[in-house]
Amino acid sequence: MKSNSPYTTSAPRHTTVLIYIAGLLTLIPLFVFHRQFGQLFWFGDEWDQLDQIERIGFGAWTWQVFGENFVPLFKLLWGGCVYLFRGSYFGMIMALWLTHAVNTIQLGRLLRLYGFPLVAVLASQIAFGFTPGNLETLGWATQWSSVLATSFLLFALEWLQRVGPFISPSKASWRPVSVVVILSACSALSFSRGVLTGALLALACFWLTEHPMPSCRRGLQAVLFLLPAIIAAAFIMAFASGNHQHLKGHLLDSADFALWYFCLNPIYRLIEMDSWGIRTLALLGTLKVILIVWGLRSADNHQRRLLWFLLFFDLSNAALLGIGRYHTGLEASVSSRYQYSSLVAVLPFAALCLEDGLKRVGRWNRRPAVAVTCILVLIFWGVFHHWRREIDCFSATRGTTARHIIFVEAHPAEMGAVPGIPFLSTARAKELVIIYHLN
């Protein structure tokens, strides 16, 4: 069944208000479980980054690679927040959640811009904003990098569609193009897989925008959007360590990880499946294909453009993740930290299926009221059931234990005591606590 929603560059006022409310409501878990989030503490790579800032200075540290990452913009923002919040980890988490709320709003704005029905938009926002499957992404300040990269992608897609930038000799016409180039660069310099943003925006020049433009200008525009990603990728290839430096002989391992990631996510985490193996892969992979096909069939031409784009985003992200994480084992493919991009890519398909299903059931005269009721039920269910179960365990392993070792234990082990970073001595961790006022 095709959607009859016409494409418009603006939405009715009440629709816009609902989209913003849905985005702001995603902050509910942070406030409801503020005690558990307040117990979280600096973890893993964060200790190493703090140590480097103190040893080599903030400026030099900002431009250094770490692991497979070259992310000076993220480092600038993350390191700045360390000083801004005077070592408060809850302050870092608040910045992360506020960015997530912005992304939830932006996802709704983008879907509405492409003519998605309001019920589908709100369903996507609520599922994206509230799922505890994002817990590690939203409970570890280092993961702010992936959240920021998503922000810049979503803003760029909206800007590209609304403005429809042209390249011509006129100076004024370069302004909208420059905005997209800057957003592409910001994404690439915030997260290693943020280099995908430039490639996706280049593709969008030919795929998503419907504004009349000569092919040569589209090509030039695509090159400009892609250029920041090429530069960032070149730095990563030249100076960063990681699996990309020794991929020979591991292509099948990489493809296997990518396949499992693509087939299982985000459904595995959304329905909290507890089985594992080939049958689970086949079942969820088939279900995901059904959602994709159903979503494409129920979409109109304009919506379908965006859905194909999101499918390409999901596949590309799976490919890069396969390269970067094949060594961690297949079970890591459903890790909480890898759900964010998959949710953005897949939820619009599922939301259109939901909308189409409601239409097929019959004419719902009270459909808006039913939708609002369902959304409220989802909020209650998500916050007071799944979040409570997940956050209690997470805050204990990622916060309470470290705080006890650093602030309470009289004689902790000299090495390996600080969670997530076995090569950092306990004495050095305590020095960093004093230097940065970590709390």
pLDDT tens, position by position, 156-179: 999 888 776 444 444 446 677 888
Decide if 432 contacts 54 (C-beta within 8 A): yes
Average pLDDT, the chain: 86
Decide if 7 contacts 115 (C-beta within 8 A): yes
Mean pLDDT for 327-350 is: 92
Q: Of the ranges 183-197, 359-373, 414-428, which one carries the lowest mean pLDDT score? A: 359-373
Mean pLDDT for 347-351 is: 93
Q: What is the pLDDT of residue 211?
A: 59
Distance from C-alpha of 354 to C-alpha of 344, rounded to nearest angstrom: 16
* Per-residue pLDDT at 369 exceeds 80: no
* Per-residue pLDDT at 240 exceeds 80: no
Q: Which residue has the higher pLDDT, 247 or 332?
A: 332
Q: What is the pLDDT of residue 78?
A: 97
Percentage with pLDDT > 70 across the chain:
86
Nearest Cα to Cα of residue 120 among 18, 273, 265: 18
pLDDT, tens only, 301-327: 889 999 999 999 999 999 999 988 888
Q: What is the pLDDT of residue 361?
A: 67
Q: Which residue has the higher pLDDT, 326 or 154?
A: 154
Distance from C-alpha of 9 to C-alpha of 277, rounded to nearest angstrom: 45
Nearest Cα to Cα of residue 176 among 199, 151, 201, 146: 201
Question: Highest mean pLDDT range out of 58-67, 147-156, 218-227, 293-302?
Answer: 147-156
Angstrom distances, CA of residue 224 to CA of 153, 159, 171, 174, 190: 15, 15, 16, 11, 18
Nearest Cα to Cα of residue 181 among 107, 231, 111: 231
Encoded tokens for 268: 């595995």
Angstrom distances, CA of residue 293 to CA of 108, 111, 121, 122, 349: 22, 18, 19, 21, 9
Q: Which residue has the higher pLDDT, 147 or 374?
A: 147
Percentage with pLDDT > 90 across the chain:
55
H or E segment to which residue 162 belongs:
helix 144-163
Confidence grade of residue 60 (pLDDT, cut at 50, 70, 90): very high
Angstrom distances, CA of residue 219 to CA of 52, 62, 93, 196, 414: 42, 33, 40, 18, 58
Decide if 20 contacts 105 (C-beta within 8 A): yes
Decide if 197 contacts 227 (C-beta within 8 A): no
* Per-residue pLDDT at 5 exceeds 50: no
25-54 residues labelled b (16+ CB within 10 A) or e (exposed): bbbbbbeebeebbebbbbbebbbebbbbbe
Q: What is the pLDDT of residue 171?
A: 46
Decide if 26 contacts 100 (C-beta within 8 A): yes
Q: How many CB atoms lie within 10 A of CB 348?
A: 27
**Residues across the chain:** 439
* Per-residue pLDDT at 111 exceeds 80: yes
Distance from C-alpha of 344 to C-alpha of 401, rounded to nearest angstrom: 33
Q: Which letter does DSSP use for residue 415 in this model? A: B
* Per-residue pLDDT at 260 exceeds 70: yes
Q: Which residue has the higher pLDDT, 17 or 248?
A: 17
Mean pLDDT for 20-39 is: 93
* Per-residue pLDDT at 373 exceeds 70: no
Q: What is the pLDDT of residue 313?
A: 94
The overall pTM is greater than 0.85: yes
Q: Which residue has the higher pLDDT, 324 or 378?
A: 324
Decide if 339 contacts 131 (C-beta within 8 A): yes
Distance from C-alpha of 348 to C-alpha of 343, rounded to nearest angstrom: 9
Q: What is the pLDDT of residue 166?
A: 44
Task: Dump the DSSP string for 201-242.
Answer: HHHHHHHT--S---HHHHHHHHHHHHHHHHHHHHHHHHH--S
Q: What is the pLDDT of residue 204?
A: 83
Residue owning tokens 């200790």: 47
Q: What is the pLDDT of residue 370?
A: 64
Q: What is the pLDDT of residue 209?
A: 63
Decide if 38 contacts 398 (C-beta within 8 A): no
Q: Which residue has the higher pLDDT, 110 or 250?
A: 110
